[in-house]
Structure 1
Amino acid sequence: MAVTEIDQKTEKLKKTYTNDEAYESALKYFNGDELAARVWVNKYALKDSDGVIYEENPDEMHHRLAREVARIEKKYPNPLSEEELYELFKDFKYIVPQGGPMAGIGNVFQIASLSNCFVIGNEGNSDSYGGIMKIDQEQVQLMKRRGGVGHDLSHIRPKGSPVKNSALTSTGIVPFMERYSNSTREVAQDGRRGALMLSVSVKHPDSESFIDAKLEQGKITGANVSVKIDDDFMRSVVDGVPYQQQYPIDSNNPSHVNEIDATKLWKKVVHNAWKSAEPGILFWDTIIRESVPDSYADQGYKTVSTNPCGEIPLCPYDSCRLIAVNLYSYVENPFTDKAKFNFDLFKKHVGYAQRIMDDIIDLELEKIEGIIKKIDQDPEGEEVKLVERNLWTNIKNKAEEGRRTGVGITAEGDMLAALNLRYGTANATDFSIEVHKSLALAAYRSSVDMAKDRGAFPIFDYAKEEKNPFINRLLKADPKLGEDMKTYGRRNIALLTIAPTGTTSLMTQTSSGIEPVFMPVYKRRRKVNPNDPETRVDFVDEVGDSWEEYTVFHHKFVTWMEANNHSTTKVYSQEELDKLVAASPYYKATSNDVDWLNKVRMQGGVQKWVDHSISVTINLPADVSEELVGELYIEAWKSGCKGVTVYRDGSRAGVLIADTKKEEEEVKSLFSKKRPSVLEADVVRFQNNKEKWIAFVGLMDGRPYEIFTGLADDEDGILLPKSVQKGLIIKNRDKEGVTRYDFQFENKRGYKTTIEGLSHKFDKEYWNYAKLISGVLRHGMEIADAINLVSGLQLDNESINTWKNGVERALKKYIPDGTKANKGKCENCGSDSLTYQEGCLICQDCGSSKCG
């Protein structure tokens, strides 16, 4: 884009809005839906790098999206107009760009990619230490641009293998899992941490260690993990025969061979998933067999891993952007006996969605050019910038060459209910499969038509795809599509996915993705002022706060109520609510009600019409057996699923908190020891109110034992090189015999430097509070409880409150994912179902999040 164009656009965007102004306007737009309004303002409203808001409500965002896509459309024959595009985006009714595209299209203020997800990897000598570090750097560079990243570890040699360096033998996979996980946790943008998927082949001799790695408290908290399971392994499990592991995993002449009991390893996978919801399962042979891009594996399109949620398997340096089509909007006369799905309008709009996705690739290429230009202009030396520049050049080449897209859906659960079909039943599953078949054919027809007008993706070769099962399925359903594809080619190498649509579904006010409705009716709590005469106090909690309890109806359940002449203003008793739900198509069709095996079969049926993959979770009650989890996995494999994740209620927290008396006693005894004179320490940096702060966290066996926090750049504060992340806290005495704590670190050349007297460098009041917090940590208080203690301190001084926030943020880094926030209340819905995930408080009831 020319500089003059950016200047003109910036001129138009000079009007700004406060957070409150945007929120109030969005609240009106969403008809009082506070959660949708807040999420839109926080995630999708146009902002500059200082957080200044340039859009008042989503309608202005939709005009922005339409304007930018129309600019690209004008490059090609028969362009869609800005008005036509706006009507598709308007009110989130039909086509919804997800995540990066919705926030980033037309944003001239921030240099960031539009891609939702990336996969990286190495070719050639990828097992070298340099190759492993290169992946680490690439991962961080992508995450700082807000991309989710996946990569595979199967190329790393197994533990104990000989290496040609001073270490003599390899450490195996697990230490590198920790490295990549830690890198993810270190990268945060606007309170949002990076997202990472680590995978490994079950064929790898270290796969058992990989499977067990996340069970250890506090380990690998910055990554999702999935095991790539092949058909031979599954047959070995079903038939009860041995299975051969080897390294390298694809070699005809492996250096390491190991015959194992497949059933034993399978039981471990199932047990861990039952206990902790990880690892996820990727049925790798199914993924590769069905993958259209793998027809071009010899040209660099061999799939190696998936993005963090598993819905996009990718080759190294490929990326993908996402769009969701709102299925509910194609139901005419919803929830009546005249309800009908408008297939003609749906297929027309799917064609437009595919076309818009192709336009977004051009917009992404503009963004990547901006990123590369920014790298070139950065003051660092060329050697420092080399990896980052090569990374984005590789990504640009893949985007130009393959033009991969990610057209998906949301509101599957509401669509079925609106048609009076019960999610999980045979009729509902058959209808869903028909919808996704229609979507696949319409999207591929659009891609072929674009190839005629715009040109095929550069490496298209009809002969290479002739044996691909997915392509053959399409062409059998529509032979004319095959004829045209052979003549004109196809614009995009792969097209379809079903991604999670958490915040997208908040905007569409529908169920999420392919999932059923979570709950049609539920209770929320709102903190109230008991002295307000218009307030109703339903109960007072243990700390004396007053709460009002109110009923929340799922948006489309309200539509059902209106269609069936039920009052939406009446105050219902619980018995009346139960009767209402029982009379609706949502009865026995929620996340926890749907028959699990039927849901797996539905996923398998739909998967046959999705060329990438499907993000879906099988929700299970807490009391299900491990055997059932194993049955679900085997059924998923037999049904043709590419991957599957199970979540047993409460399992995530259960594994990460000490669950035996013996473990609790070990933790307590750990902190009863006398403080050693030297402790390892982490350096945690953050900003409070745009001030630079620093925390030194002394660690004993990896757990926080003490903490010192204060300003980093103040004259009397700590001046420390940014490269320093770890060191030692040394307890000493000064000349007067007063105890002091020194910090010692080693620079790049190996020279040791000591900063004397942390207690003297920080404000005395900070120091006194630091001793208080360190004391409770040393005496065994759980980290989450220590944070609650700090947050509850009643402090009047603004500077001290800033210190308090800093301590909370620093300590949250060490809270294991899934840990319950004791006595915490969700600020949005009042629920006490708060858990920590990657340092953020996540409400399990309404999904809202708050990061430190």
Structure 2
Amino acid sequence: MSPKTLTTIKKRDGSIVAFDKDRIIRAIFKAADSLSAFGEKEAKRLSEIVVEILKKTHVTVPEVEQIQDVIEQCLMAAGYYDVAKAFILYRKNREQRREERKSLGIDDALELPINSLRALKARHLRKDASGNPIENPTQLFERVSSSIADVDKRYGLSKKEIVNNAEGFFELMAKRKFIPGGSYLRNAGFGGPLSNCHVLPIEDSIESIYESIKQSAIITQRAGGGVGYNFSRIRPAGDFVESSGGLSTGPISFMHVIDASNQVIGMGGHRKAASMAVLNANHPDILDFIHAKRGGKNLTTFNVSVGATDTFMKAVQKGSDFDLINPRTGAKVHTLNAEGIFDIMTSLAWDNGDPGMLFLDNTNKTNPLPGLGPLESTNICGEQWLHPFDVCNLGSINLAVLVKDGKIDYKELERITILASRFMDNGVDLSEYPVEKITEMAKGNRRIGLGIMGFADMLIQLGIPYNTPKALKTAEEVMKFVNDTAFNASAELAKEKGVFPHYDLSIYKKMKVKMRNAARTSIAPTGSISMVANASSGIEPIFAVAFRKNVVDAKGVFYVNQYFEDMAKKNGFYNDEVLGEVSKHGSLQNNKEIPEKIQKLFVTAHEISPAFHVKMQAAFQKHTDNAISKTINMPNSATIDDVKEVYMLSWKLGCKGVTIYRDGSRDMQVLSSGSGSSGEDTQMIQSKVNLTPLGKREYSLDN
């Protein structure tokens, strides 16, 4: 009797699916490749033996576990004992992951990484009134992709074209090649805002100030994403107020009003509210502004940055005096030494990270809409410079999945960039906006902020240490390619759908280039969406080889770098002792068990010089339309002079802003290296609001 033919297998959930020999080949090859034991040819040979053994059994429909048992036996019979052990560990890890998935209560047909599932459940999956998920990742990505693709019905695309686009959008998200901002994941298909970035005007009148405060509350409650303001038009404290005969309380007093509002109104129940405050260096209240967050107890919902012109920075270099100007009258109020102002700024930034700096002239040299006036403020993280009432939606390409055979897959990067550009342009139309003037600006400018994440992961796969000239060269090449491709994609969309309405106010009219979007690229911090993508954040280096990330809940999520694990297994130093040391310190440096080449490859944020951090930001800025959110991480041992060097170098190299953080200078931080104890020692910053659903609230009359 001839052996039977295998046509189906039984999965663990009891479902019957078609038999696929390629899955056996991949399982064997993955175990072997982790040890560099043999290649795909041998994996195919062994898979044939596995199949023949299965055919000779009396089981008509083999189960997954039975197939895996035969694979183990086959590997051992062939003398591949280490590979068999690796396969057994692989099975054990898979079983642990299945149990973790089961505990999350999410149907995960896409087999996403467990940390991706945690982030999706905590932040993005739709929930019922009791806080339980009512959709799974597949349904989420289908909801987003179909609603975004349907926008093109307005532009006359055929049903087939729309379906094809929807399938393309779904594939980008499901395979973690591109993830849009969190507002897309939460709201697309249900209605609501899809934008992440806002800037509101603050004029020198009580009516304007409180109108902006009201609009800010509406944006915060409905849209999230935070709001940026430049307070430089408000008259200084102590200035005369003719209408009342009294004296002005100055801009900082109104920052406190917004701060109180932020603390009351959560971002749609998803995040705490946050704002960016900018005050130009020539404002008479600049010293009070610089000191406003001293001690870290006040204005806790604000990031603060000093708006600096080239005139101010050159005065700092020369150590010359600098005039403070009353914005109400235009008259000089006082003169201070510019270097003295700079010294105070940098010493306070050294102490707790604030204030940062925004370089006004560097920014306005590339302002795409000069007809709308100068750019004066950014969103809360600094990557989006916006005019008053302007807005931008964000999304990021995951570079970590674009390394093929040790090289960057530029063909695939081009395809993703083009498709993501259409996705985000459609988002401008689909989004609802909380304030009418924002609607006008959003659709008038059609800004999109396409960025990247997973850059550090890409470098590791390419074998390029982050703190090397080759990494800087790679940064420029990759971002130029993305920026140029997005430019061309926007030009094609303009042919198809028309230019943005404020085109005549833009630089593109003089260039005689039709453009769909006033700006196209921007690099965001990608906090939660990098977790969804299971990628390193933005353009940042890895924070640590093992670390806890506190953007999901108070305990945080513990990570061990997946590329390090793979490399440790391949190079024979994957053991409990090495992992214990790495988990304890978060670093590979000075670990005698680990080859020096690998130590250099896995260099962490605090092991990179602050100046090199700035150089990397500047390399990306050369080919980014808007700006970049990047933290210049500094070790606890960094000095105030180090901070001065970073701020000055950032301006000289053409960065549009700079933010530093000296390790341990705040009681709270988003990332902490090492395993810690159980997470109680760390806290969240600008993370998810911990609200108890009404149906689960507990009541007690006990004190």
**2:194 is the alignment partner of 1:114:** yes
Q: CA deviation at 1:351?
A: 1.3
Question: Corresponding residue for 1:624?
Answer: 638
**2:127 is the alignment partner of 1:47:** yes
CA distance in 2, matches of 1:838, 1:176: 21
CA distance in 2, matches of 1:613, 1:446: 20
| Alignment counterpart, residue 504 of structure 1, candidates 525, 529, 551 | 529
Contact 2:498 2:516 in 1 (8 A): yes
State the secondary structure of the residue aligned to 2:598: coil
| Alignment counterpart, residue 352 of structure 2, candidates 255, 276, 280 | 276
| Alignment counterpart, residue 150 of structure 1, candidates 203, 228, 241 | 228
Question: Corresponding residue for 1:236?
Answer: 315
Question: Corresponding residue for 2:263?
Answer: 185
Q: CA deviation at 1:567?
A: 7.2
Deviations 1:784-819 (A, max 9, x none): xxxxxxxxxxxxxxxxxxxxxxxxxxxxxxxxx679
Superposed, which structure 2 residues align to 1:485-504 within 5 Å?
A: 486=512, 489-504=514-529
State the secondary structure of the residue aligned to 2:606: coil
CA distance in 2, matches of 1:838, 1:205: 30
CA distance in 2, matches of 1:246, 1:426: 43
Structure 1's 120 and 584: CA in aligned 2 closer, same or farther, altered over 3 A? same
Question: Corresponding residue for 2:607?
Answer: 593
Q: CA deviation at 1:119?
A: 0.6
Q: CA deviation at 1:343?
A: 1.3
CA distance in 1, matches of 2:362, 2:558: 44
Q: CA deviation at 1:585?
A: 6.7
| Alignment counterpart, residue 170 of structure 2, candidates 86, 91, 95 | 86
Contact 1:89 1:95 in 2 (8 A): yes
State the secondary structure of the residue aligned to 1:213: coil
Q: CA deviation at 1:177?
A: 1.6
Higher RCO (CA < 8 A, seq sep 6+): 2
Superposed, which structure 2 residues align to 1:675-690 within 5 Å?
A: none
Question: Corresponding residue for 2:209?
Answer: 132
Q: CA deviation at 1:289?
A: 1.4
CA distance in 1, matches of 2:595, 2:110: 28
Contact 2:353 2:665 in 1 (8 A): yes
- State the one-letter code of the partner of 2:475: S
Deviations 1:358-394 (A, max 9, x none): 0111111xx34xx6xxxxxxxxxxxxxxxxxxxx111
- State the one-letter code of the partner of 2:428: I
Contact 2:547 2:558 in 1 (8 A): yes
Question: Corresponding residue for 1:830?
Answer: 678
| Alignment counterpart, residue 428 of structure 1, candidates 471, 474, 489 | 471
Deviations 1:386-437 (A, max 9, x none): xxxxxx1111111111111010010011111111111021111111111000
Structure 1's 411 and 586: CA in aligned 2 closer, same or farther, altered over 3 A? farther
Superposed, which structure 2 residues align to 1:620-769 within 5 Å?
A: 620-653=634-667
Question: Corresponding residue for 2:422?
Answer: 355
Question: Corresponding residue for 2:43?
Answer: none
Q: CA deviation at 1:171?
A: 1.5
Superposed, which structure 2 residues align to 1:94-109 within 5 Å?
A: 94-107=177-190
Superposed, which structure 2 residues align to 1:22-41 within 5 Å?
A: 23-25=104-106, 33=114, 35-41=115-121
State the secondary structure of the residue aligned to 1:408: strand
Q: CA deviation at 1:185?
A: 0.8
Q: CA deviation at 1:341?
A: 0.6
Deviations 1:99-156 (A, max 9, x none): 1112111125xxx31111111115xxx2111211111111111100123111111011
| Alignment counterpart, residue 408 of structure 1, candidates 443, 451, 461 | 451
User: How many residues of Structure 1 are paired with residues of Structure 2 in the alignment?
Assistant: 569
CA distance in 2, matches of 1:169, 1:344: 63
CA distance in 1, matches of 2:548, 2:210: 49
CA distance in 1, matches of 2:506, 2:241: 43
Gapped regions of structure 1 (runs ≥ 5): 1-18, 334-338, 372-391, 468-481, 525-549, 654-816, 843-852
Q: CA deviation at 1:353?
A: 1.0
- State the one-letter code of the partner of 1:89: M
State the secondary structure of the residue aligned to 1:421: coil
Question: Corresponding residue for 2:619?
Answer: 605
CA distance in 2, matches of 1:430, 1:458: 37
**2:334 is the alignment partner of 1:255:** no
Structure 1's 353 and 649: CA in aligned 2 closer, same or farther, altered over 3 A? same
State the secondary structure of the residue aligned to 2:305: strand
**2:293 is the alignment partner of 1:195:** no
State the secondary structure of the residue aligned to 2:649: helix
Deviations 1:306-355 (A, max 9, x none): 1111110111111111110001111112xxxxx10111221221111111
Q: CA deviation at 1:21?
A: 6.8
Question: Corresponding residue for 1:318?
Answer: 390
CA distance in 1, matches of 2:134, 2:548: 35
Q: CA deviation at 1:201?
A: 0.5
State the secondary structure of the residue aligned to 2:517: coil
- State the one-letter code of the partner of 1:596: P
State the secondary structure of the residue aligned to 2:448: coil
- State the one-letter code of the partner of 1:259: T
Contact 1:23 1:38 in 2 (8 A): yes
CA distance in 2, matches of 1:303, 1:607: 17
**2:155 is the alignment partner of 1:141:** no
Contact 1:422 1:585 in 2 (8 A): no
Deviations 1:233-281 (A, max 9, x none): 10001111111221228xxx71343221001110000001000100111
Question: Corresponding residue for 1:442?
Answer: 485
| Alignment counterpart, residue 266 of structure 1, candidates 330, 333, 342 | 342
State the secondary structure of the residue aligned to 1:59: helix
Structure 1's 312 and 32: CA in aligned 2 closer, same or farther, altered over 3 A? closer
- State the one-letter code of the partner of 1:100: S
Q: CA deviation at 1:85?
A: 2.2
Provide the TM-score with structure 1 as the length reference. Answer: 0.62
Gapped regions of structure 2 (runs ≥ 5): 1-99, 550-556, 583-587, 691-703
Structure 1's 32 and 641: CA in aligned 2 closer, same or farther, altered over 3 A? closer
Contact 1:68 1:106 in 2 (8 A): yes
Contact 1:113 1:147 in 2 (8 A): no
Q: CA deviation at 1:217?
A: 5.7
Contact 1:327 1:410 in 2 (8 A): yes
Contact 2:358 2:658 in 1 (8 A): yes
Structure 1's 575 and 128: CA in aligned 2 closer, same or farther, altered over 3 A? closer
State the secondary structure of the residue aligned to 2:320: coil
CA distance in 2, matches of 1:351, 1:839: 31
- State the one-letter code of the partner of 1:834: T
Deviations 1:38-71 (A, max 9, x none): 3211211023566453212x22211112211221
Provide the TM-score with structure 2 as the length reference. Answer: 0.75
Question: Corresponding residue for 1:290?
Answer: 366
CA distance in 1, matches of 2:544, 2:320: 43
Question: Corresponding residue for 1:778?
Answer: none
Relative to its length, the structure with more helix (as a share) is: 2
State the secondary structure of the residue aligned to 1:427: helix
Q: CA deviation at 1:565?
A: 5.0
- State the one-letter code of the partner of 1:556: Y
Deviations 1:722-753 (A, max 9, x none): xxxxxxxxxxxxxxxxxxxxxxxxxxxxxxxx
Contact 1:834 1:841 in 2 (8 A): no
CA distance in 2, matches of 1:523, 1:463: 44
CA distance in 2, matches of 1:617, 1:89: 26
**2:156 is the alignment partner of 1:72:** no
Relative to its length, the structure with more strand (as a share) is: 1
Contact 2:395 2:424 in 1 (8 A): yes
Q: CA deviation at 1:202?
A: 0.6
Structure 1's 49 and 360: CA in aligned 2 closer, same or farther, altered over 3 A? farther
**2:561 is the alignment partner of 1:554:** yes
CA distance in 2, matches of 1:575, 1:61: 39
